[in-house]
Amino acid sequence: MTRVFNFSPGPATLPEAVLRKAASEMLDWNGSGMSVMEMSHRGKEFIGIHAEAESLLRELMGIPAGYKVLFMQGGAIGENAIVPMNLIGKTGSADYITTGDWSKKSMKEARTFGKINEAASSEASKFTAIPKQAEWKLDAGASYVHICSNETIGGVEYHWTPDTGSVPLVADMSSNILSRAIDVSKYGLIYAGAQKNMGPSGLTVVIVRDDLIGHALPITPSAFNYKMQAENDSMYNTPPTYAIYIAGLVFQHVKALGGMKAMEAHNKAKAAVLYDYLDDSAFFSNPVAKEDRSLMNVPFKLKDESLDEAFLKGAQARGMIQLKGHRSVGGMRASIYNAMPIEGVQALVAYMKDFEAKNA
Ligand SMILES: *Cc1c(COP(=O)(O)O)cnc(C)c1O
């Protein structure tokens, strides 16, 4: 068996130790005589798995009392509608900061549910930076302010936490949750699809402050109503049980590695290997403002795009896959989430040096 270095933006690479553990428990979880996939979500085995996953996530992220953790479905794209349905009813309007494809998509979807104000945007600079907070035109009467903390396609990330005063800050953290320490108390709501840094697709994690629950618009489907899910421990409908189990194994793994501080150090070291080389190279380039560069998704371009196909083919031959950039921006993108080992990034840079020497 050979495992590739998988630079996919998502679903993405998972820790091998987690996959091995899941494989060893596939037919018989902990002497239960069944796979986790076959368990009743209301049985004591699964309730234990679910509770442990939640408690590990709370511990890892330092989620304060006064916040609910919901395990939902529908992905971050689902949350683009679910968030406004649950939160916008307070005042009828919300502020959105657009920094790339994902936050723009969030804003567009929210328009169905209330008055949406684009309080800041970096579209004029082709989404290569995060607009400075001083430029934001926030509305004190907004129900919330929405950001995307890491733009997976453009490779721009907030390395600071916006101050939105008494208006709750809502963040799509799909592609950088668990990548570094954050102060959850600065947010009203955090949501993330699991398939970048937490586990398989199908699970959406929502971390929501208690006072934001209970204001859903009457049109909100019950399964997407935070109050319904909070009152039913995320079991109003059948939760994505196997995805929750795998996420729990990932949380155990991350805890064993040293938690958020250790992940942050590891991710900074990894990203530096790639960015340092990109900055030295006259052949490859990254367009993002240095202070806003993502530690998770690194887009880069070849000087001559007619070499793109040859670059991808050569990478594949060396066991490095999924490096093609998003179709909206072209070029390449290396997604280097928590589970990508530094050896993967080193192998990529060694290949890039080689390719540059042969083609520059
Ligand atoms: C991947 C991603 C999404 C889309 O998630 P779905 O699971 O397809 O709904 C949304 N936002 C961000 C920031 C992402 O990285």
Peptide bond into 341 cis (omega under 30): no
**pLDDT at residue 124 in the model:** 96
pLDDT tens digit string along 176-235?
A: 999 999 999 999 999 999 999 999 999 999 999 999 999 999 999 999 999 999 999 999
Mutation to probe ligand 1, out of 102, 150, 198, 338 (largest number of atoms < 8 A from CB): 102
- Residue 140 to residue 142: CA distance in whole angstroms: 6
Radius of gyration of the chain (CA): 21
Candidate list 68, 90, 95, 102, residue with the active-site label: 102
**Separation of CA 242 and ligand 1 centre (Å):** 20
Ligand 1 near 87 CB (within 6 A): no
Distance of alpha carbon 139 from alpha carbon 319, whole angstroms: 50
**Residue in the structure block whose two tokens are 């594949």:** 316
Residue-level pLDDT at 101: 97
Supply the pLDDT for residue 1.
80
> Ligand 1 atom 14: the closest Cα is on which residue?
174
196 is catalytic: yes
Task: Tell whether ligand 1 has an atom less than 6 A from the beta carbon of residue 152.
Answer: yes
Q: Is 204 in the pocket of ligand 1 (CB under 6 A)?
A: no
Go through the domains of the chain in sequence order and give each one's CATH number.
16-256 (3.40.640.10), 259-359 (3.90.1150.10)
Give the residues of the chain that fall short of pLDDT 50. Answer: none
Ligand 1: centre distance to CA 78 (Å): 9
Q: Which two tokens stand for residue 170?
A: 């809502």
Q: Smallest Cα–Cα separation from 231: which of 214, 246, 243?
A: 214
Separation CA 216–CA 82 (nearest Å): 9
How many Å lie between the centroid of ligand 1 and the Cα of residue 152? 8
**Does the C-beta of 179 come closer than 6 Å to ligand 1?**
no
Q: Is 324 a known active-site residue?
A: no
- 4 Cβ contact list (under 8 Å, min separation 6): 319, 320, 321
Residue 325 Cβ contacting ligand 1 at under 6 Å? no
Give the nearest ligand 1 atom to 175 CA. Answer: 15
3-state SS record for the chain: CCCCEECCCCCCCCCHHHHHHHHHCCCCCCCCCCCHHHCCCCCHHHHHHHHHHHHHHHHHHCCCCCEEEEEECCHHHHHHHHHHHHHHHHCCEEEEEECCHHHHHHHHHHCCCCEEEEEEECHHHCCCCCCCHHHCCCCCCCCCEEEECEECCCCEECCCCCCCCCCCEEEECCCCCCCCCCCHHHCCEEEEECCCCCCCCCCEEEEEEHHHCCCCCCCCCHHHCHHHHHHCCCCCCCCCHHHHHHHHHHHHHHHHCCHHHHHHHHHHHHHHHHHHHHHHCCCEECCCCHHHECCCEEEEEECCHHHHHHHHHHHHHCCEECCECCCCCCCEEEECCCCCCHHHHHHHHHHHHHHHHHHC
Q: How far is the CA of 193 from the centre of ligand 1 (A)?
A: 6
Nearest CA to ligand 1 atom 13: 174
Q: How far is the CA of 296 from the centre of ligand 1 (A)?
A: 14
pLDDT of residue 315: 98
Contact in structure between 349 and 298 (CB atoms under 8 Å):
no
Is 279 known to be catalytic? Answer: no
Identified catalytic residue from 172, 270, 292, 324: 172
CB of 95 sitting under 6 A from ligand 1: no
Give the model's pLDDT for residue 94.
Answer: 98
Q: Ligand 1 in contact with 149 (CB < 6 A)?
A: no
Can you state the angle between helices 342-359 and 308-317, rounded to 10 degrees? 130
